[in-house]
Structure 1
Amino acid sequence: MKKFILATLLMLASTTASASIILSEVDDNAYITVGGYDIAWASPVNFWDVNLSHQAQYGWQAMTLAVYNEIGGLDAVDFAGDGYNAIWNPNLNYYVDPVTGATAFTGGYVGFDSIAVASPWFSNNYEHIDYGQAVGGNAWAGADFDGPSCPNSCNESLVFRVSSVSVPEPSSLAILGLGLVGLVARRKKQS
């Protein structure tokens, strides 16, 4: 009886965990950076599924057609490479993040060791993306657009935020400038 209760509790816990959004900032290896924007593959369906209630505090917002066009569009292969969160698992025949459970259904190995998958941070319903559907770049969805391959139902959703670029503060530059002026003045005084 104890084993049955334990098994039931474990099953409920794992079911609950797989259906809830991760309430931390998106891992750095779960998104890509293109043209000054961080871009996350948020859901395997249209934008109705994307939940920004937690991630908005980190600057994430719905992809817009203007930003999508500004970066020159995207293809599934842009999310594949080395060092991303979902890694190839030949036993399962798809890519999976061993920490979050995020998966990229690809239909097999696509020539890369890993794929950036952010759906567990943005979707209440899905922890996967459909890589094959986004090959060719015409299956993306955002706040104000739908790709032509599967309008109104199964396009892959994107989110973005402006990449954080460290820019020196004006006061830091002023201190650096004063230091350089002081060095030049000292050198002239010594000669």
Structure 2
Amino acid sequence: VVASAEEAEVVEVADPENLCYLTQTTLSLDEAGQIISVLKRRFPRIQGPPGQDICYATENRQQAVKRRAPESDLLLVVGSQNSSNSRRLVEVGGNLGVGGYLIDDERCIEPSWLEGVKKVTITAGASAPEVLVQRVVDHLQERYGFGRVEEVEVIEENVKFPLPAELAQQQRRLTQIASL
């Protein structure tokens, strides 16, 4: 396991001519890109996956933070403390000079975080329910007087996953029964 570009610079492999890499689906895009660049430079024959293997939701949220956080005074990321992709979102903001916090919900917000803050960017980890994000927005408006809320869709998430075959078959049966 290679966890940084520095480690990629020194990793030793048994057969540099027969090598492939995969990435954790919730890695920071920037970190993954740096690691892959080093590996490709050191091992020109290294093979990667046929497509993008960073989770689309993780990638989209990281790109959104990169575009929106620099305009903000504070970044709040709604997500679990053990969520890799949620922690990465805070890191992405921090790398842009924007202070941020990973919160489970609105009850985790400390009043001191908001002192002198005029604009907050709120995002969520890939698996955080939308209702938690809305509760954070409501809390900031009701308790701290933040007025205007601008929902910005930086990247449309329109990925649809097909039902597994068994469920699709059951759905067809139920549709047939309902039409009788």
TM-score (norm 1): 0.25
Q: Which has the higher contact order (CA 8 A, sep 6+)?
A: 1
Between Structure 1 and Structure 2, the one with more strand by share is 1
Between Structure 1 and Structure 2, the one with more helix by share is 2
TM-score (norm 2): 0.26
Query: Which of these two proteins has the greater Rg computed from alpha carbons?
Result: 1
